Structure 1
């Protein structure tokens, strides 16, 4: 008798069912785990932030804090450290989120939410995609959606096989794309 709750080798159907009684479909959830590239970049940002905060403390403790002859370098180091922390946390929050309210795409500086009523279709297409978000493009797959108030060409892809979350993980991309497509099919019907 298999025990699917003890392994990560569950089938897709078993993984989509929630065993939690408090599983609320009104909450925003990401239908996939953040990829290793995203986590690595965020970890490096947090590491750099710790150095900046440590430098701010050392500068503040070893020099005069407020004097006419000293510049507030400790404050600059503190602000930079806090900015790196905010950037790393925002980088971890980036991605596609779904709930029964709609589809949300969180970017580094902006978040767009589209209600399911405005989503015409969500599908996987073969097209040139950006590699790790850089200007270089490679042939890959992208999960795109069409809104009723925009042309299909005006919409950026939701997920790509060569993005920070899915580079080198094609099965994870397929599962995430299938999950988002299933949410769209369920909630577009009403």
Structure 2
């Protein structure tokens, strides 16, 4: 609401609404030199009480309001300066943008070439690792095959040895023959071995 004050004691006019033409005449205000009103001679003005909690809340809200308004001013100022800069040196901005685009294209081409080079190196390294792994696998298979063949040969040798030894085994068929051979060829096991490992047989004194 707008209120106008005229110091020369002229009628004061107050505009009720900006959308209407109805005017209302109000009383004029006192000047600086007018005496105090009789109804207010003995009155002592006391400040209204302040709620501490409300004061803290108001201070926080005022600080927040100040920060928001400062940020808005800075943003509007930045936008205005940017617009002015673009209007004043637009050709330079276009040239700079073109140079940046060319530089970006050059860097992207270099990046693609570098990625291609690194991919080829990586593929060669992976292929080499695969070949080495395949070679190790083949060598391990060959080694296992050799170990298996050696094991089979060892078992065959043991089998042949057992077959040779089995010819001298005592069975029911040659039991009588072995008994007769043992009786015909008695063996004396009463002998000793000297330090050199030679057999020392006992001599029978006559």
Compute the TM-score of the two structures, normalised by the length of structure 1: 0.20
**Higher percent of residues as strand:** 1
**Higher percent of residues as helix:** 2
Instruction: Flag the structure with larger Rg.
Output: 2
Compute the TM-score of the two structures, normalised by the length of structure 2: 0.18
Higher relative contact order (CA 8 A, sep 6+): 1
